[in-house]
């Protein structure tokens, strides 16, 4: 209803056109009756021509209204489809990573295409044909009763079962259609994952296995569709059969009445035509039912998206939005006894991946975070721009809880470089200038990220297209582009999540040098596997299984000869082995070291 409501008057006019065209259509048999009876009574030709002219006029009027009803109602259904799609798309942008973790992309694609289409058919053509059916039926029935109530009863007796068939088949169609759509979601998911994992599939020589997996789902989809087709196919013939029985009864009883002279030939012919007029809407009713059932099944699937509430949202009561104080440099960040657990599946208890983390980063300072794989570095960083919310404790920016800052304001302040760099299939200029206003900022940022020469070395320069139908950057180039994109917005807080892991140590050192210069005055939080990336930070956190194992400056941590020191030793050893052409990482020397 919310999507239909804005167009209610237009829809009402469209439906009026349906009613008017149906009324005119229902007038025609009566005109034929008059003509036939007039001919039988030997009326002058002029009278018959007059009836014929009226029929032409009525048909023309009917044509005009039919055109309008289709144009308006089908047109409005397209507009509603558009509005619904826009709302879905906008809602998808608000949903949090946790929701996406539970939802398959292919399924979403199926919903945004196929299901919206089914909803459109229900709000457009189905409503139009339903109105046509109701009014066509009522008009035809009234004329039939006016001609002969007895004959009408005889004609309708076999049709009593039709509503029952509609109900039974309708329910079955609804269920089967939902199954078909769900399978279509599986199919799109498979194709989407197949396409994005093509390299891996080839490398593991899994083409045949993937083909089999696809065949299985595709065959099942086919079978479910065929089952649906069978139901739809049953609708028409069963309606026609029972309507046909009615027609046969009318022919028998009515024919006898004509022979006996109790009704005129004109009235009998008109009655037959009205019965046909009644039959077609009834047959259409089966189809309309199927359209509504499909639309309802699809709308239920769309509501799964629309009813999902984002776990991370703008401050709402009891919270009050608090503006951030103006700043020309960085902002202070404080974590107070922060805890975090990812939502667990049903029946499982959530496992805390961050436990009691407290640290203060003054404005303009750099915090380094190191720790083994899975120690919680990425999770910790994601709590600052609220990609997820803490499950205990608080994250503060300049003393304000991040949950009290409007999301747009908060995220404007933060330049986030995720672990996996994703660039859009656009030009380099568009990618690097994403979200920033001044094109010069992108150029400046490309210099900091040591990417300017690479970009200007491409034949297309800044206008080089990336991704599909464009060039593909190397892993390190992608990371640098992603870093430049974050810096170009000149945020007051820069967060790097292992953002230089694919860059060689030499380039990393050059980037970090430039970065220190570029970040002067801004706050930075840098997580990395490699100590080289964070050794110059003002403060360093060493994470271990979600807890702070150690913290301090580089020198303090070295003096302590604890975890940090061990980590550094190990990495130095690795670098030495990698630097030595004879050394291979799998050699036992490293394992024991």
Ligand X SMILES: Nc1ncnc2c1ncn2[C@@H]1O[C@H](COP(=O)(O)OP(=O)(O)OP(=O)(O)O)[C@@H](O)[C@H]1O
* Least Å from the CB of residue 558 to ligand X: 22
* Least Å from the CB of residue 508 to ligand X: 16
Q: Please, which residue, 373 or 592, has the CB nearer to ligand X?
A: 373
What is the SS3 assignment for 262-305? CCCHHHHHHHHHHHHHHHHHHHHHHHHHHHHHHHHHHHHHHHHH
Q: Please, which residue, 212 or 570, has the CB nearer to ligand X?
A: 570
* Least Å from the CB of residue 98 to ligand X: 7
Q: In a 3-state reduction of DSSP, which class is residue 344?
A: coil
| Contact status: 379 vs ligand X (CB under 6 A) | yes
Q: How far apart are CA 81 and CA 493, in angstroms?
A: 41
Q: Please, which residue, 29 or 371, has the CB nearer to ligand X?
A: 371
Residue with tokens 């002029």: 46
Q: Please, which residue, 102 or 469, has the CB nearer to ligand X?
A: 102
| Contact status: 489 vs ligand X (CB under 6 A) | no
* Least Å from the CB of residue 432 to ligand X: 25
| Contact status: 421 vs ligand X (CB under 6 A) | no
Residues 582, 575: contact at Cβ < 8 Å?
Answer: no
Q: How far apart are CA 104 and CA 249, in angstroms?
A: 56
| Contact status: 378 vs ligand X (CB under 6 A) | yes
Q: In a 3-state reduction of DSSP, which class is residue 427?
A: strand
Stretch that binds ligand X, among 58-66, 187-195, 235-243, 367-375 (CB under 6 A): 367-375
Stretch that binds ligand X, among 63-71, 370-378, 407-415, 575-583 (CB under 6 A): 370-378
| Contact status: 377 vs ligand X (CB under 6 A) | yes
Residue with tokens 């993937």: 210
Stretch that binds ligand X, among 43-51, 135-143, 272-280, 372-380 (CB under 6 A): 372-380
| Contact status: 373 vs ligand X (CB under 6 A) | yes
Strands 493-497 and 392-397: unpaired
Which of 240, 419, 430, 454 touches ligand X (CB under 6 A)? 419
* Least Å from the CB of residue 474 to ligand X: 20
Q: Please, which residue, 2 or 101, has the CB nearer to ligand X?
A: 101
Stretch that binds ligand X, among 12-20, 292-300, 376-384, 456-464 (CB under 6 A): 376-384
User: Of 327-346, which residues contact ligand X (CB under 6 A)?
Assistant: 342
Q: How far apart are CA 265 and CA 190, in angstroms?
A: 65
| Contact status: 531 vs ligand X (CB under 6 A) | no
| Contact status: 206 vs ligand X (CB under 6 A) | no
326 DSSP assignment? P
Stretch that binds ligand X, among 126-134, 368-376, 410-418, 449-457 (CB under 6 A): 368-376
Which of 323, 374, 439, 475 touches ligand X (CB under 6 A)? 374
Cα separations (Å) of 201 from 197, 467, 529? Answer: 6, 20, 29
466 DSSP assignment? B
| Contact status: 350 vs ligand X (CB under 6 A) | no
* Least Å from the CB of residue 542 to ligand X: 11
Cα separations (Å) of 129 from 125, 126, 137, 222, 287? Answer: 6, 5, 12, 28, 9
What is the SS3 assignment for 118-183? HHHHHHHHHHHHHHHHHHHHHHHHHHHHHHCHHHHHHHHHHHHHHHHHHHHHHHHHHHHHHHHHHH
Stretch that binds ligand X, among 165-173, 287-295, 373-381, 424-432 (CB under 6 A): 373-381
Sequence-ordered list of residues with C-beta below 8 angstroms from that of 201, at least 6 positions apart, any chain: 194, 207, 210
User: Of 497-516, which residues contact ligand X (CB under 6 A)?
Assistant: 498
Buried-exposed string 56-80: b where 16+ CB fall within 10 A, e elsewhere: eebeeebeebbebbbebbeebbebb
| Contact status: 385 vs ligand X (CB under 6 A) | no
Q: How far apart are CA 569 and CA 573, in angstroms?
A: 6
Q: Please, which residue, 12 or 344, has the CB nearer to ligand X?
A: 344
Stretch that binds ligand X, among 250-258, 374-382, 446-454, 562-570 (CB under 6 A): 374-382
532 DSSP assignment? G
| Contact status: 375 vs ligand X (CB under 6 A) | yes
**Angle (deg, nearest 10), helices 8-40 and 265-306:** 170
Which of 170, 254, 272, 371 touches ligand X (CB under 6 A)? 371
Which of 2, 44, 101, 317 touches ligand X (CB under 6 A)? 101
Q: Please, which residue, 375 or 477, has the CB nearer to ligand X?
A: 375
| Contact status: 238 vs ligand X (CB under 6 A) | no
Q: Total number of residues binding ligand X (CB under 6 A)?
A: 14
Nearest to 366 by CA among 203, 504, 487, 515: 515
| Contact status: 376 vs ligand X (CB under 6 A) | yes
Residues that bind ligand X (CB under 6 A): 101, 342, 353, 371, 373-379, 419, 498, 529
């Amino acid at each position: 209803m919310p999507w239909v409501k804005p167009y209610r008057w237009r829809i009402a006019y469209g439906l009026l056109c349906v009613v008017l065209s149906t009324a005119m259509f229902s007038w025609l048999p009566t005109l034929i009756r008059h003509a036939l009876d007039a001919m039988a009574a030997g009326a002058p030709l002029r009278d018959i021509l007059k009836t014929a002219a009226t029929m032409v006029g009525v048909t023309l009027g009917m044509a005009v209204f039919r055109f309008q009803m289709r144009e308006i109602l089908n047109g409005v259904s397209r507009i509603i489809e558009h509005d619904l799609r826009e709302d879905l798309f906008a809602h998808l942008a608000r949903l949090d990573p946790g929701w996406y973790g539970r939802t398959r992309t292919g399924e979403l694609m199926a919903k945004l295409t196929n299901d919206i289409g089914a909803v459109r058919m229900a709000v457009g053509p189905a409503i139009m044909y339903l109105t046509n059916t109701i009014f066509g039926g009522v008009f035809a029935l009234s004329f039939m009763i006016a001609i002969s109530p007895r004959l009408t009863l005889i004609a309708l007796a076999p049709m009593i079962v039709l509503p029952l068939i509609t109900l039974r088949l309708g329910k079955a169609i609804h269920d089967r259609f939902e199954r078909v759509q769900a399978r279509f979601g599986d199919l799109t998911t498979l194709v989407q994952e197949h396409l994005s994992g093509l390299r891996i599939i080839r490398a593991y020589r899994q083409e045949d296995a993937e083909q089999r997996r696809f065949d299985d789902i595709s065959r099942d989809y086919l079978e479910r569709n065929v089952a649906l087709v069978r139901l739809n196919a049953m609708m028409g013939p069963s309606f026609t059969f029972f309507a046909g029985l009615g027609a046969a009864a009318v022919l028998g009883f009515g024919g006898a009445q004509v022979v006996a002279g109790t009704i005129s030939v004109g009235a009998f012919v008109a009655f037959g035509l009205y019965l046909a007029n009644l039959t077609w809407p009834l047959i259409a009713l089966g189809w309309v039912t199927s359209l509504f059932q499909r639309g309802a099944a699809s709308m239920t699937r769309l509501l799964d998206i629309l009813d999902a509430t984002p776990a991370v949202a703008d401050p709402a009561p009891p919270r009050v939005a608090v503006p951030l104080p103006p700043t020309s440099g960085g902002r202070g960040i404080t974590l107070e006894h922060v805890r975090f657990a990812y939502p667990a599946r049903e029946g499982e208890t959530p496992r805390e991946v961050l436990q009691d983390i407290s640290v203060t980063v003054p404005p303009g300072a750099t915090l380094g975070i190191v720790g083994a794989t899975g120690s919680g570095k990425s999770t910790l960083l994601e709590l600052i721009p609220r990609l997820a919310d803490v499950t205990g404790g608080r994250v503060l920016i300049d003393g304000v809880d991040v949950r009290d800052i409007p999301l747009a304001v908060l995220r404007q302040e933060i330049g986030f470089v995720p672990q996996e760099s994703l660039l859009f299939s656009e030009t380099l200029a568009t990618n690097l200038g994403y979200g920033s206003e001044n094109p010069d900022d992108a150029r400046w940022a490309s210099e900091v990220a040591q990417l300017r020469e690479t970009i200007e070395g491409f034949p297309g320069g800044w206008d080089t297209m990336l991704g599909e139908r464009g060039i593909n950057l190397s892993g390190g180039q992608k990371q640098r582009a992603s870093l430049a994109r974050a810096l170009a917005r000149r945020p007051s807080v820069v967060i790097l999540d292992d953002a230089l892991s694919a860059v060689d140590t030499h380039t990393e050192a050059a980037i970090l040098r430039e970065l220190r210069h570029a970040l002067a005055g801004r706050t930075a939080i840098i997580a990395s596997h490699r100590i080289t990336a964070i050794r110059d930070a003002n403060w360093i956190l060493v994470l271990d299984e979600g807890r702070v194992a150690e913290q301090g400056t580089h020198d303090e941590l070295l003096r302590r000869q604890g975890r940090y020191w061990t980590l550094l030793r190990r990495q130095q050893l690795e670098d030495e082995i990698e630097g030595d052409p004879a050394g291979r990482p799998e050699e036992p020397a490293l394992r024991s070291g």
